[in-house]
Structure formats: structure tokens, C-alpha cells
Structure 1
Amino acid sequence: MRAKGLAYGRRWAGTRGGGTLTGRLPTTAQVVDAAVFLLENQAINGVGLRVDGGVRER
């Protein structure tokens, strides 16, 4: 699982936003907002939320 995550991370980092649906990578503030949302909402559990600007799988 770790190797798959590393490969995804390298592919994602290489996009510089060009391969995303939003045309840019998310900001640190947007990633933090998503994490805070998941932590504060007690009705949500067991969720893996991708905050990636809509990276397209190639």
C-alpha cells in the first residue's frame, strides 16, 4: 500500500495543477479546512477524503 501511495504522490506532485479539474493544486488552507471538517463532524467516520483539485487518473 505504501508503494502505491508514493507513486500516486509523485504523479500528483508532477501535475503542478495542470492535470486537475480545477486547473491548480489545493492550497494548504483548503487541505486544513477539509481535515477540520472531518474531525469536527461526529456523523462522519471511516472516510478517506481526497483534497486534490480533481486530479485525473491517467
Structure 2
Amino acid sequence: MARGTTRPVVRLTSTAGTGVTYVTRKNRLNDPDRLVLRKYDPVVGGHVLFREAR
């Protein structure tokens, strides 16, 4: 299998509008939709939802 086709690098941006981003990889076969994770936002000082930005 070609490298990088199943696990692309995606950027997660905060839904709080602070401009904080995380970079991660996702499996396209298991998660075909946009990824949504609850992660720590240092500007807010707590956990918020981060959505995949394309």
C-alpha cells in the first residue's frame, strides 16, 4: 500500500474561535467524516471541541 493514502495529516481547529490548532493523523477507512475531538484549549483554559479543517 502506498504511504500516506490511508492516514492523511489533518488540522483540528478550536470551535471556541481562539485560533488554537492541533495537527494529527486520521484513518480514512474508520473515520470518513470530519473528525471532532475534545481537546485542551490553553487560551480558554479548558477542554473544548476541535473540528477538522480542510
Give the TM-score normalised by structure 2: 0.21
Bigger radius of gyration, 1 or 2? 1
- Bigger strand fraction: 2
TM-score (norm 1): 0.20
